[in-house]
Chain A
Amino acid sequence: MIGLTYSFILLPIVNSLFILLIPKRRAELFRPLTIFLSLIPLGLCLYVFLNQDLKTSFYVVDKFSWISAYGIDLIIGLSGMSFLLVTLNCLLVLLSILSLNENHSFSKGFLSSLMLLQASVNGVFLAGDLISLFIFFEALLIPMYFLMGIWGGENRRYATIKFILYTVFGSIFILAGTIYTGVLSYLSLGNFALDFDSISALSITSSQSKILFLLFTFGFLIKVPIFPLHTWLPDAHVEAPTAGSILLAGVLLKVGAYGILRVSIPFFTEGFIEYQFLIGTLSVVGIIYGAVVAIVQIDIKKLIAYSSISHMGFVMLGISAGRYLSLEGAVIQMINHGITSGALFMLVGFLYERRHTRRISDFGGLKKSMPIYAGIFLFTSFASIGLPGLNGFVGEFMILMGSFPTFNVLSSIAAFGVVLAAIYMLWAYQRMFNGELTHEDNKNVLDLNSKEIVSVAPLLLLMLFIGLYPSFIESYVVQDVSVIYESINKSLGLSK
Chain B
Amino acid sequence: MSQIAEAIGFNLIVISPTVALVITVLILLFFTITVETSLTVKKWITFLGILVTIFCVFLKFGLFLQNGISSYFTQKILLDEFSLFGNVLIAMILFLNFLPIWDTSSKLNEKTSEAIILILMSASGFFLMVDAENLIMLFIGLEIGSISLYALAGLNRSDKLSNEASLKYFLLGSLASCVLIYGVALVYVSYSVMSLYDFALVVAYTGPDIVPLTTFVGVLFIFVGLLFKIAAAPFQSWAPDVYQGSPTGYVGYMASIAKVASFIVIARMCMVSIAFILEDFQTFFFVVILLSVLIGSFFASVQSDLKRLIAYSGVVQSGFILSGITSGVNGTSASMFYLFAYILQLIGVFTIFSIISGKLSSNFEMDNIKGLIKNNRFLGISFCVFMFGLAGIPLTSGFVSKFILLTNLWAYEKYFLVSILLLSTVVGFYFYLRPIWIATIEKVDEPVETLLIKKSEYMLIGSLASLTILFGLLPDTLINISRWVVQNYL
Chain A contacts to B: CB under 8 angstroms: 65-70, 131, 134-136, 138-139, 141-142, 145-146, 149-150, 157, 161, 164-165, 168-169, 172, 175-176, 179-180, 182-183, 186, 192
On chain A, the residues within 8 Å of B407 by CB distance are 70, 179, 182-183, 192
On chain B, the residues within 8 Å of A68 by CB distance are 476, 480
Closest to A141 in B: B393
Q: Mark B421-449, 1 if CB is under 8 A from A, else 0.
A: 01101100110010011001100000000
| Chain A nearest Cβ from B328, distance in angstroms | 14
Say which residue of A67, A150, A164, A182 sits within 8 Å of B433 (CB atoms).
A164
Are A168 and B425 in contact, CB atoms less than 8 angstroms apart? yes
Are B394 and A139 in contact, CB atoms less than 8 angstroms apart? yes
A69/B437 contact (C-beta < 8 A), A134-B394, A175-B406, A180-B410 known: no
On chain A, the residues within 8 Å of B440 by CB distance are 146, 149-150
Are A176 and B403 in contact, CB atoms less than 8 angstroms apart? no
| Chain A nearest Cβ from B372, distance in angstroms | 14
Are A149 and B399 in contact, CB atoms less than 8 angstroms apart? no
| Chain B nearest Cβ from A314, distance in angstroms | 30
Are B441 and A149 in contact, CB atoms less than 8 angstroms apart? yes
Any A CB within 8 A of the CB of B22: no
On chain A, the residues within 8 Å of B410 by CB distance are 176, 179-180, 182-183
| Chain A nearest Cβ from B273, distance in angstroms | 26
Chain B residues numbered 444-490 whose CB sits less than 8 Å from any CB in chain A: 474-476, 479-480, 483
| Chain B nearest Cβ from A105, distance in angstroms | 20
Cα A139 to Cα B392 with chains together (Å): 11
Any A CB within 8 A of the CB of B419: yes
| Chain A nearest Cβ from B311, distance in angstroms | 23
Cα A150 to Cα B480 with chains together (Å): 40
| Chain A nearest Cβ from B455, distance in angstroms | 20
A67/B475 contact (C-beta < 8 A), A134-B394, A138-B393, A150-B441 known: yes
A165/B429 contact (C-beta < 8 A), A149-B441, A179-B406 known: yes
Are B418 and A179 in contact, CB atoms less than 8 angstroms apart? yes
Cα A69 to Cα B333 with chains together (Å): 11
A135/B441 contact (C-beta < 8 A), A67-B475, A168-B429 known: no
Any A CB within 8 A of the CB of B404: yes
Q: Which of A142, A149, A168: most chain B Cβ within 10 A?
A: A168
Any A CB within 8 A of the CB of B395: yes
Cα A172 to Cα B406 with chains together (Å): 11
| Chain B nearest Cβ from A353, distance in angstroms | 21
Q: Mark B41-85, 1 if CB is under 8 A from A, else 0.
A: 000000000000000000000000000000000000000000000
On chain B, the residues within 8 Å of A161 by CB distance are 430, 433
Closest to A176 in B: B422
On chain B, the residues within 8 Å of A164 by CB distance are 429, 433
Number of residue pairs A-B, CB distance < 8 angstroms: 79
Closest to A139 in B: B394
| Chain A nearest Cβ from B299, distance in angstroms | 18
Cα A65 to Cα B476 with chains together (Å): 9
| Chain B nearest Cβ from A189, distance in angstroms | 13
Are A70 and B404 in contact, CB atoms less than 8 angstroms apart? yes
On chain A, the residues within 8 Å of B425 by CB distance are 168, 172
On chain A, the residues within 8 Å of B437 by CB distance are 149, 157
| Chain B nearest Cβ from A164, distance in angstroms | 6
Are A69 and B433 in contact, CB atoms less than 8 angstroms apart? no
Are B404 and A67 in contact, CB atoms less than 8 angstroms apart? yes
| Chain B nearest Cβ from A337, distance in angstroms | 27
On chain A, the residues within 8 Å of B388 by CB distance are 142
Are A172 and B479 in contact, CB atoms less than 8 angstroms apart? no
Closest to A131 in B: B403
Which 7 residue pairs are nearest across A and B when measured between Cβ atoms? A135-B394, A172-B422, A149-B441, A179-B410, A168-B429, A138-B394, A183-B411
On chain A, the residues within 8 Å of B433 by CB distance are 145, 161, 164
Q: Mark B271-310, 1 if CB is under 8 A from A, else 0.
A: 0000000000000000000000000000000000000000
Q: Mark B209-239, 1 if CB is under 8 A from A, else 0.
A: 0000000000000000000000000000000
Cα A179 to Cα B412 with chains together (Å): 12
Cβ contacts A to B, 12 pairs, < 8 Å: A67-B404, A67-B479, A69-B476, A134-B394, A139-B395, A145-B436, A168-B425, A172-B426, A175-B403, A176-B422, A179-B410, A186-B411
Q: A70-B479, A168-B426, A179-B406 are in contact. List 9 more A-B contacts (CB 8 A).
A: A66-B474, A69-B480, A69-B483, A134-B394, A135-B394, A149-B440, A161-B430, A172-B426, A186-B411
On chain A, the residues within 8 Å of B394 by CB distance are 134-136, 138-139
On chain B, the residues within 8 Å of A70 by CB distance are 404, 407, 479
Are A172 and B430 in contact, CB atoms less than 8 angstroms apart? no
Closest to A182 in B: B407
Cα A150 to Cα B384 with chains together (Å): 14
